[in-house]
Amino acid sequence: MVDFSLTPDQESLRELARKFARSEMAPHAAEVDRNGRFPEEIYRKAWELGLMNLNVPAEYGGTGLGLFDQCLIVEELAYACAGMTTSIIANCLALEPIILGATPEQKDRWLKPFCADYHLASFCLTEPSGGSDAAALKTRARRSGDEYILTGEKCFITNAPHAALFTVFATLDPALRHKGITAFVVPRESAGLLPGREEEKMGHRASATSTVRFEEVRVPATDRLGAEGEGFALAMRTLDQTRTPIGAMATGISQAALDLAARYALQRTTFGKPIAEHQAIQAKLATMAQQLTASRLLTWLAAWTIDRGARGTLESSIAKCFSSDAALRVADEAIQTFGGYGYMKEYPVEKLLRDAKLTQIYEGANEIQRIVTARELLKRYA
């Protein structure tokens, strides 16, 4: 029989994340959002509690959690602040290509320091000339003896201004499209690696985003991940793993929006009664609850599928796409329930809408998720 109940370990994990989110993140969410501040002290505390690097296997010092458990944590963190959550989970994205594609010696070298001390890493795939067509990336990797020389520019890179390590996708020859793409691990101190200035963003303002320029950056061949030409598949396999937690992030935003709207509806009075007694508001809350429940279940299904060893490309793209579209609608309805107050920065709901928007864009825009979903689906009919 299918069982949706959590194990005692999962309950305690969720409780740990909930407590941290509500006591350490939520009280600062409005301030860091207003000031676009990167609250590194909170990220350090998350690391101390084992709430970062969730995907690093136990043999390299990590928690070795499965994707389902990671999603339980991410939903709780995002309930308090999606922006901080983006920065807290960005290491999972950046380290996943190492987990999937590195040799045991490389894993030892790169994963262990992240579990021994607080460090940030960045995943460098997207470029200014286009993010959705990943096979068309232009950053060049030129072989020179026992090194590669990287030249090019990445953009929208989460945590780049603060990162100690970068997983970088570059091409040996753009004409080869995906067959030329190769992955590298590049430390921050490498000469010619230049993070740009921090972007001013609409939402996720607690997270730092910038360009990263590579000006003739020399990378030893021993720091290549996998073989030449294997980088594109590695990036896709990484995103199969990391899109599901974006579904969890969107679910956390939806839950926060529904909770705020329902509580407000019970205490706000119009026409002589709480607005929760008006059918127009009840219909909103009901639709929000439907969207939220479906988001959580699709996210859980994708995580469960991947934890059982399947690739989960279809399930993760459905979970990410549905839950992020839902979060935008649910946050929008929460604002509508609050009326004019919802539009004011003094109340917390407008932030949810701004934060929800990014979940439709990053880790593959939802237009790309629909392409991925359709391709995977049609394979089953061919």
Binding-site ranges for ligand CAA (CB under 6 A): 90, 93, 123, 125-126, 131-135, 156, 158, 178, 232-233, 236-237, 239-240, 313, 362-364, 368, 371-372
Q: Are 337 and 261 in contact (CB under 8 A)?
A: yes
Between 89 and 141, CB nearer to ligand CAA:
89
Closest residue to ligand CAA, judged by C-beta, is: 364
Question: Which of 80, 115, 76 lies closest to 95, judged by CA?
Answer: 115
Strands 181-187 and 269-270: unpaired
Q: Does 40 participate in catalysis according to the annotation?
A: no
DSSP state of 158: E
* Shortest Å distance, C-beta 157 to ligand CAA: 6
Question: Which of 61, 43, 60 lies closest to 52, judged by CA?
Answer: 43
* Shortest Å distance, C-beta 378 to ligand CAA: 12
Task: Please count the CA atoms within 13 angstroms of the CA of 108 that sit on its side-chain side.
Answer: 3
* Shortest Å distance, C-beta 243 to ligand CAA: 8
Q: What whole-number distance in Å separates Cα of residue 212 and Cα of residue 169?
A: 12
Between 251 and 369, CB nearer to ligand CAA:
369
Between 235 and 301, CB nearer to ligand CAA:
235
Q: Are 242 and 93 in contact (CB under 8 A)?
A: yes
Phi-psi region of 154 (alpha: psi -120 to 50; beta: other; left: phi over 0): beta
Between 157 and 275, CB nearer to ligand CAA:
157
Q: Which of 76, 216, 363, 376 is catalytic?
A: 363
Q: Are 300 and 251 in contact (CB under 8 A)?
A: no
Between 28 and 311, CB nearer to ligand CAA:
311
Cα-Cα-Cα-Cα dihedral sign, residues 205, 253, 310, 378: negative
Q: Are 77 and 25 in contact (CB under 8 A)?
A: yes
Question: Which of 111, 113, 106 lies closest to 92, judged by CA?
Answer: 111
Q: What whole-number distance in Å separates Cα of residue 214 and Cα of residue 139?
A: 8
Q: Are 138 and 169 in contact (CB under 8 A)?
A: no
* Shortest Å distance, C-beta 120 to ligand CAA: 12
Q: Which residues pair with 140 in a beta bridge?
A: 151, 171
Q: Are 228 and 162 in contact (CB under 8 A)?
A: no
Between 261 and 358, CB nearer to ligand CAA:
358
* Shortest Å distance, C-beta 350 to ligand CAA: 22
Q: What whole-number distance in Å separates Cα of residue 381 and Cα of residue 358?
A: 33
* Shortest Å distance, C-beta 133 to ligand CAA: 6
Token duo for residue 70: 């990671």
* Shortest Å distance, C-beta 131 to ligand CAA: 5
* Shortest Å distance, C-beta 85 to ligand CAA: 11
Between 239 and 328, CB nearer to ligand CAA:
239
Between 38 and 264, CB nearer to ligand CAA:
38
Token duo for residue 15: 């409780």
Angle between helices 8-20 and 67-80 (to 10 degrees): 30
Residues carrying an active site annotation: 363
